Amino acid sequence: MTAPLSKPGLRAALAWAQTQLKASESARLDAEVLLAHVLQQSRTYLHTWPERELDKDQQQRFAALVNARATGQPIAHLTGTREFWSLELLVNDSTLIPRPDTEILVAKVLALKLAQTAQVLDLGTGTGAIALALKSERPEWTLTAVDQSSAAVALAKTNAARLKLDLRVMQSHWFSALEPSDVSGFDAIVANPPYITADDPHLERGDVRFEPRAALVAANQGFADLEHIIDQARRFLNHRGWLILEHGWQQAAGCRERLANAGYTAVASGKDYANLERISFAQWTPNDVQ
For residue range 36-92, list pLDDT tens digits in order: 999 888 888 888 887 888 888 888 899 999 989 988 888 888 889 889 999 999 998
Lowest mean pLDDT among 12-21, 156-165, 233-242: 12-21
pLDDT at position 195 is: 72
pLDDT at position 3 is: 45
φ/ψ of 173, rounded to 5, equals -85, 100
SS3 271: strand
Strands 142-147 and 168-171 turn out to be: parallel
Q: Domain-by-domain residue ranges, the chain?
A: 10-71, 93-284
Does residue 205 register a pLDDT over 90? no
SS3 138: coil
**Beta strands, E only, 30-91:** 81-84, 87-90
Q: What pTM does this model have?
A: 0.85
pLDDT at position 207 is: 63
SS3 30: helix
Does residue 24 register a pLDDT over 60? yes
Q: Which amino acid is at 196?
A: I
Query: What is the three-state SS of 167-188?
Result: CEEEECCCCCCCCHHHCCCEEE
Mean pLDDT calculated for residue range 242-256: 92
Q: C-alpha distances in angstroms, 278 versus 113, 193, 242, 246, 256? A: 21, 12, 17, 6, 12
Q: C-alpha distances in angstroms, 144 versus 36, 157, 186, 204? A: 34, 11, 9, 33
Q: Which amino acid is at 184?
A: S
Mean pLDDT calculated for residue range 10-14: 88
Given pLDDT bands bounded at 50, 70 and 90, which one contains residue 194?
confident
pLDDT at position 55 is: 87
pLDDT at position 153 is: 95
Mean pLDDT of the chain: 87
- Give the fold, CATH level 3, of 10-71: Helicase, Ruva Protein; domain 3 (1.10.8)
**Would you say 18 and 29 are in contact if contact means Cβ atoms under 8 Å apart?**
no
Rounded CA gap, 218 and 2, in Å?
Answer: 42
Q: What is the pLDDT of residues 90-146, one digit of tens each?
A: 998 888 888 888 999 999 999 998 999 999 999 999 999 999 999 999 999 999 999
Which class would CATH give 93-284? alpha beta
Rounded CA gap, 105 and 271, in Å?
Answer: 10
Lowest mean pLDDT among 33-37, 64-68, 208-212, 245-249: 208-212
Q: What is the length of the chain?
A: 290
